[in-house]
Amino acid sequence: MASRSEAFTAILTSHSRYFVQHYAPDPALAVELVRAAGGVPSSRIRWPRPAAGWSGNGPTGK
């Protein structure tokens, strides 16, 4: 590959012979299935780390 863009248009595409289909449930269905199984659905949000010396009210509450 001559460039990253060429890789995405030639090999890393859903029309490539290397493409593998996968199943991803609808988020609402996933929550319903977790609850039906007695679980508690949750979602993790990755907050960026604050810069050194930052003293605002961020996700950590500090």
In a domain, 48, yes or no: no
In a domain, 53, yes or no: no
In a domain, 13, yes or no: yes
In a domain, 47, yes or no: no
| Predicted model pTM | 0.41
Q: Is the pLDDT of residue 37 over 70?
A: yes
Range of the domain at 11: 4-36
In a domain, 20, yes or no: yes
Q: Is the pLDDT of residue 8 over 60?
A: yes
CA–chain centroid gap for 7, Å, is: 22
CA distances to 10, 17, 26, 46, 47 from 36, rounded to whole Å, are: 42, 38, 15, 27, 30
Q: How many domains does the chain have?
A: 1
